[in-house]
Amino acid sequence: QSVLTQPPSVSAAPGQKVTISCSGTSSNIGSNYVSWYQQLPGTAPKLLIYENNQRPSGIPDRFSGSKSGTSATLGITGLQTGDEADYYCATWDSSLSEGVFGGGTKLTVL
Amino acid sequence: EVQLVESGGGLVQPGGSLRLSCAASGFTFSNYWMGWVRQAPGKGLEWVAHINQNGGEKKYVDSVKGRFTISRDDAKNSLYLQMSSLRAEDTAVYYCARLGSSITCHYWGQGNLVTVST
């Protein structure tokens, strides 16, 4: 049972848009920055979004992040088959004094 | 180019010990918080531990407290994870990461598999 709650799976057609939610509490998402990661099959995770809505250099603007209260959202537009991967949200939990990840969301591009 | 290369994983019996290493290059290692994240087979990511720049702050996930120790050697640009009293549930790929605010993992190593089994 992960501290941050994500849907297990989402799917959409190529070219479409998808959003992935990440729900937490006031002690984690509500008071700390959220980051998002993409993990392609058999590879290490890669940072997609940091500090709620910032993209590292090299990450296309098809990927976006937002946060409101105790929830965060990752948006992906112009879906490509290469976007099929597992996506994770993460942040610090000030009450637990631990880093916390969501359970992950598997994106399928139909 | 930032590079993080883990080593030291392998097969160990329950109750045994293992030390993971992470060799860093391409950035000023001493300026950054560093951490370990693991992923059990077929499961999601789990934050394990982190250490600040001078080693004065170390935090651990509850399940490894008292058994794992994170440390760093800035002269060698290296991060370590000493693991003892290993359990089957510690079996995972362990990733080294360079950290930013709110434990953002800006860069990841390739991962190193630790298997705890008889």
A-chain residue closest to B48, CA distance? A99
pLDDT of residue B6: 96
Question: Rounded mean pLDDT of chain B?
Answer: 96
Interface test with B, best of A5, A101, A105, A106 (most B CBs within 10 A): A101
pLDDT of residue B13: 97
Contacts B46 to A, Cβ<8 Å: 101
Inform me whether the C-beta atom of residue B100 falls under 8 Å from chain A C-beta atoms. Answer: yes
The model's pLDDT over B78-106, given as tens digits with 9 standing for 90+, comes to 999 999 999 999 999 999 999 988 889 99
pLDDT value at A32 more than 90: yes
pLDDT of residue A50: 97
The verdict on a CB contact (< 8 Å) between B102 and A35 is yes
pLDDT of residue A1: 81
pLDDT of residue B19: 98
B15: buried, middle or exposed (CB in 10 Å: 19+, 13-18, 0-12)?
Answer: exposed
No. of helices (H) and no. of strands (E), chain A? 0, 9
- Structural contact between residues B39 and B95, judged by C-beta atoms closer than 8 angstroms: yes
The model's pLDDT over B23-33, given as tens digits with 9 standing for 90+, comes to 999 999 999 99
3-state secondary structure of A82: helix
The model's pLDDT over B37-53, given as tens digits with 9 standing for 90+, comes to 999 999 999 999 999 99
The model's pLDDT over B11-24, given as tens digits with 9 standing for 90+, comes to 999 999 999 999 99
Of A33, A44, A104, the CB nearest to B102: A33
